[in-house]
Amino acid sequence: MDSFLIKGGVPLRGTVEISGSKNAALPILAATLLTDEPCVIRRVPDLSDTRFMVKILESLGATAKFENGTVTVHAKKIKGYADYDLVRKMRGSICIAGPLLGRLKKARISLPGGCIIGARPINLHLKGFQALGCKIKIEGGYIDATAKKITGNSMFLGGRAGPTVLGTANIMMAAALGDGITVIESAACEPEVVDVANFLNAMGAKISGVGSPTITIEGVKKLHGAEHEVIPDRIEAATFLIAAGATNGEITVKGARAEHLRAVIDKLGEAGVSVERNGADLIARRKGKLKPVDITTLPYSGFPTDVQAQMMALLVLAKGISIITERIFESRFMHVSELARLGADIEIEGPSAIVKGGKPLSGAPVMASDLRASAALVIAGMAAKGTTQVNRIYHLDRGYEKMDEKLKKLGARIQRVEEK
Ligand code: EPZ
């Protein structure tokens, strides 16, 4: 398994181009199953997750080509049965269920299972499918969903931690080809959900209200092929803005959308990292000393849970007490023990991490546990004195395109160590 070797203490300086959003690309690639015509999706980040999704589409019978960030998919004829192992390995693949139900009125996919950050239930997805007239059977690790027809309906999709991002996308995709009107209350407002709806509307769907908690879908008979460019990855952009603050450098982030980053830019400002707009570019640099701040992760447009770990890596450098409360997932603090190996002083109290910041970090071998935790460890390693080896970097490769190359261009002393 590959690892990153990082020599810390270098302020990052320069410009970085943000890739397309992983969390928009995955459901948008799944949505290409809704039509028998070819679709062209541009600015797809080249990640293990997106390559996996293309493999899943091919296992369903679609033809697909992934070249220079553009994926061409032609799901002329498809089957409703996805390869058990393929789906089981990537939670995000649950979002093929909606398109399969919309197109074929049936879907047989393995239960996605949980992951290190939480149980990751899909009860809200199933609740929505049932509201659309689907019969759901769960046996032998599979979800078997069938419907005589998809009938529009109103439903409330709020759960234990508020809306569901992929659940909202799944219902939109199933209802797009349904009979009648579907109204989703407590829909997710994330920009990635808006991007999926924009692609569906480009295919001829009739979806309105996206970006608000109430989405209306008027079913249509057929969807046609379309072209679409994926929105920039706001989580990747946030990661680089934070890295500028953590290394006391100055980074110009190109290709991001400031309007998707309001909560992050606000909190960074409070913490002493200014993010200024220069046209479409964002320039991040420290403004004086880092200050402790309190953060609670919330559904969009609140502070994103996917930036929680990276923010913690910054706040361990800010002298004083920062309280970080994770309200979306039940165990998203795997990075705490690894940050402690670098000298961080953090205590977990239920859903909160109490960060006693300001102690100097010194490099050590650490273990990545999940996608965003690995990004936090890379940030901390770049701020630490000495050398940090971040092991199991495959977690990071799932969601960050060419992270080491982008960091190297900014002056980071980082190299990928391939395990023989
Ligand atoms: C998406 O996951 C993202 N993944 C996650 O990003 C992100 O953290 C999450 O949304 C929240 O913003 C992709 O888009 C591929 P949810 P998703 O359904 O849709 C509970 C990353 O690092 N819930 O919005 O699976 C759930 O347990 C990844 O890029 C139910 O209770 O998340 C969680 O507590 C990690 N029942 C909360 O809702 C359900 O049926 C939010 O989950 C579904 C979810």
Task: Please give the chain's pLDDT, 420 residues, in tens.
Answer: 899 999 999 999 999 999 999 999 999 999 999 999 999 999 999 999 999 999 999 999 999 999 999 999 999 999 988 888 888 788 889 999 999 999 999 999 988 877 788 888 999 999 999 999 999 999 988 999 999 999 999 999 999 999 999 999 999 999 999 999 999 999 999 999 999 999 999 999 999 999 999 999 999 999 999 999 999 999 999 999 999 999 999 999 999 999 999 999 999 999 999 999 999 999 999 999 999 999 999 999 999 999 999 999 999 999 999 999 999 999 999 999 999 999 999 999 999 999 999 999 999 999 999 999 999 999 999 999 999 999 999 999 999 999 999 999 999 999 999 987
- Cα separation of the two ends of the chain: 8
The pLDDT of residue 113:
72
- Residue 369: cis peptide before it, omega within 30 degrees of 0: no
The pLDDT of residue 263:
98
The pLDDT of residue 118:
87
Whether the CB of 118 sits within 6 Å of ligand 1: yes
Q: Which atom of ligand 1 is nearest to the CA of 300?
A: 12
- For residues 242 and 273, the answer to whether their CB atoms sit within 8 Å is yes
Mutation test residue for ligand 1: of 111, 156, 165, the one with most atoms within 8 Å of CB: 165
Fold annotation for 2-19+232-418: UDP-n-acetylglucosamine1-carboxyvinyl-transferase; Chain (3.65.10)
Mutation test residue for ligand 1: of 21, 22, 23, the one with most atoms within 8 Å of CB: 23
- Whole-number Å distance between alpha carbons of 234 and 68: 21
Give the global pTM. 0.98
115 noted as active-site residue: yes
- Whole-number Å distance between alpha carbons of 202 and 363: 49
- Provide CB contacts within 8 A for 214, sequence distance 6+: 183, 184, 185, 187
Mutation test residue for ligand 1: of 120, 130, 235, the one with most atoms within 8 Å of CB: 120
Please tell me the residue having the least CA distance from ligand 1 atom 41.
Answer: 164
Output the CA 388–ligand 1 centroid distance in Å.
30
The number of residues in the chain equals 420
Output the CA 387–ligand 1 centroid distance in Å.
34
- For residues 405 and 397, the answer to whether their CB atoms sit within 8 Å is no
The pLDDT of residue 136:
97
CATH 3.30.465.10 assigned to domain 22-229? The reply is: no
Across the strands, what pairs with 72?
40, 65
Query: Which two structure tokens, joined as six digits, stand for 104?
Result: 């074929």
- Segments making up each domain of the chain, as ranges: 2-19+232-418, 22-229
Residues 234-245 as b or e (16 or more Cβ within 10 Å = b): bbbbbbbbbbbb
Whether the CB of 124 sits within 6 Å of ligand 1: yes
- The one catalytic residue in 39, 95, 115, 134 is 115
